[in-house]
Amino acid sequence: MQEYDLVVIGAGPGGTPVAMMSAKFGKRVLLIDKLGKAGGECLFEGCIPSKILENASNRYAMLKNASEFHIDLKSTPQIHWEEVIAEKERILKMRSESAMKQIDALATLDFVKGKATFKDAHTISVNDKDYSFKQAVIATGATASMPPLSGDGVAKAWTNADIFKQTKLPKEIAFIGAGAISCELVQMFAKLGVKCHILERGERILKRIDKNSALIVQKRMQEQGIDVILNVTFKEITGKEGNFTISYEQNGNTKELKVPNVLIATGREANVEGLGLENIDIEYDKHGIKTDKTMQTTQPHIYAIGDCAVGPKFAHWATYTAGIAVHNLFAPTKHEADISKLSWVLFSEPQIASVGLSQAEAVAKGIEVDVIKYDYAIDARAQIDHDTDGMLQFVIQKSDGVIIGIQIVSSDASSLSGEASLIVSQKMKAVDVMGAIHPHPTLNEAFGKLAQNYFFASMMRGRGGR
């Protein structure tokens, strides 16, 4: 039986860096992936393919709306969807092959394709072959969770994995659920001229996101002609591709929606089935594997990171926790993952970026906060860009004036999120942000202006100019 210092299960944005960093430390490492390719769902079925398609749709929409900037293109823009899909495949292949070359270059790192199962706390089986290990990291990710909906059409509906494989641009799609995945995709397809519906149980879209931010995106959806259907009680989904019927109740009325395509995006579930966790007494539930802040499971020599662990489901969180896990595997001291610094971007229109805590999250933790907002409607750069629907928001801890959360709504929120991450991670106050000189005219100016507004307002209130 081959013996390894470390076994890593999953070659995505969490598992791959763990395996490579450990091998560079001279450890004998076995990396296992069911696809036999590096990249994980983020690369093949998630954030990368969605952004390739989003990029194409945004540029197409810019051409269609060129007249807003007094540009006459004299012809109707066309998009060649099959070529967009081909470009997606080329980029995914290039990125995966590049990662595999880096893996192959490490002499102490072995890569195996297959499904891994723990036989005991120090033995793992892959393709009916057993390997022994001293330590392990589980980084198996997550997949789309199918809700308990009735009807024979549920199993035939698309998930995010299916939509990126369509070589022909659909004419009409109904999206079930108004979370992050649905909201990104529905606007992307609407900009391409696809007739889109989005159905949500709640009273608004993006129920887990700051309400002020979510309602700006919801308003834009309706302006784009997207059929936003809220307060829905689903009855059943019947039919098959080309002829689905969605039956639901809304405000006491029974309704039907007939569409050729349905995409279900109502959540994610950890990939833990078949790992044999029950054989090694590792605790887990439907949300994932339970870990402490060091990413250690209930087995001290086994760690879990990324989407398969209870906690945030982001590729960058997986990579961040990979670094935490590697340190804790081999260093004499322990590091803890700090979720208070977490940032994320929703690539909707406009984009939403968030760092740290929202107002609702702070209140839920019992933290007294001031919330101040800068409206991009008054901003020079936003006016020039015809992008005045957005805002910048600081969530400031009253006790010490530290900015513990920032939310940004703008078509360029992803670019602005870097400064927001630094502000929150470095526990800055308004006076610290004021110390930076922001160039004019840029959207970044809003950080300085908002900090200045709060600083002088707090001075007037006699709070020491925090």
**67 three-class SS:** helix
DSSP letter string over 238-258?
Answer: EEETTEEEEEEEETTEEEEEE
b/e sequence 38-74, b meaning 16+ C-beta within 10 Å: bbbbbbbbbbbbbbbbbebbbebbeebeeeeeeeeee
Distance between CA atoms of residues 112 and 32, nearest Å: 5
Residues facing 117 on adjacent strands: 125
Strand 2-9 and strand 29-33: the pairing is parallel
Q: Known catalytic residue: 440?
A: yes
350 upstream amide cis, omega within 30 of 0: yes
Q: 308: which DSSP letter?
A: G
Length of the chain: 466
Distance between CA atoms of residues 372 and 453, nearest Å: 9
Q: 287: which DSSP letter?
A: T
Q: Which helix (H) or strand (E) holds 329?
A: helix 315-330
Residue (of 60, 142, 47, 58) closest to 88 by Cα position = 47
Q: Which of 70, 80, 301, 440 does the annotation list as catalytic?
A: 440
b/e sequence 225-235, b meaning 16+ C-beta within 10 Å: ebbbbbebebb
- Which residues lie below 8 Å from residue 357, measured CB to CB, with a gap of 6+? 340, 365, 367, 395, 404, 405
Angle at 13 between CA 10 and CA 16, to 5 degrees: 55
Distance between CA atoms of residues 90 and 95, nearest Å: 9
Q: 142: which DSSP letter?
A: E
Distance between CA atoms of residues 378 and 441, nearest Å: 12
- Which residues lie below 8 Å from residue 429, measured CB to CB, with a gap of 6+? 400, 401, 402, 403, 466
441 upstream amide cis, omega within 30 of 0: yes
Residues annotated as catalytic are 440
